[in-house]
Amino acid sequence: MRPMRPRPSTLALLLLMLATAAFAATLLDAAVPREQREAELNATRALVARLGLTDLALFTEARYTRHPSQADLHSAFQDHPLALEHFPTGSLLPPPRYEIVVRETALPD
């Protein structure tokens, strides 16, 4: 006699349950506090405070991508007035959205 094979629905529901459990595990994993990461984050924050850093070192290819918050809005088009921005990061990194403090048109950007 051939051994009884499990019904396809049993397999499918088992697979779905497994996938749901894995999904729930990711949510749980994200919610678990990480002491070591917290300590590292505090150390980074202390370094930022000590050096007065203003930006993340994510894109180091050009000065306006290395410190986007410190660059003026025209620096991406500095070569000539109609020059297109040529660093690839420019397509990932939107220009900073500054609020105008007082001088609406007194000075550029």
Partner 1 sequence: MKLWFEKQRYLIDFTLASMARRKARNLGLLGVYTVLVFVLASVALYTHALRVEAAKVLAASPEVILQRLVAGRHDLIPPGYLEKVGRIRGVQKKEGRLWGYYYDAVVKANYTFMVPNDASIAKGEIVVGPALERSRGLAAGNGISFRSYSGKLHTFIVASVLPQASEIASADLVLMHEEDFRAFFDYPVGHYTDIALSVANPLEVRNVALKLAAALPDSRPILRDEVLRTYASIFDWREGIVLALLSAAILAFGILAWEKASGLSADEKREIGILKAIGWETGDIIKMKFWEGLLISLTAFLAGFVAAYLHVFYFAATLFEPVLKGWAVLYPEFRLTPHIDGLQVATLFFFTVFPYAAAVLAPIWKAAITDPDAVMRG
Q: Which residues bind partner 1 (CB under 8 A)?
A: 7-10, 12-13, 15-16, 19-20, 22-23, 25-27, 29-30, 34, 37, 40-41, 43-63, 65-72, 74, 87-89, 91-94, 96-99, 101-103, 106-109
Q: Which is nearer to partner 1, 25 or 83 (CB)?
A: 25
| Ranges of H-type helices in the chain | 8-31, 35-51, 63-66
- CA distances from residue 38 to 33, 34, 41, 45, 56 in whole angstroms, order as listed: 8, 6, 5, 10, 18
Q: Which is nearer to partner 1, 28 or 82 (CB)?
A: 28
Q: Which is nearer to partner 1, 1 or 109 (CB)?
A: 109
Nearest distance, CB of residue 11 and partner 1, angstroms:
8
Cβ pair 85, 76 in contact under 8 A: yes
Nearest distance, CB of residue 46 and partner 1, angstroms:
7
In 3D space, the residue among 104, 95, 60, 56 whose CA is nearest the CA of residue 74 turns out to be 95
CA max distance for the chain: 91
Q: Which is nearer to partner 1, 69 or 83 (CB)?
A: 69
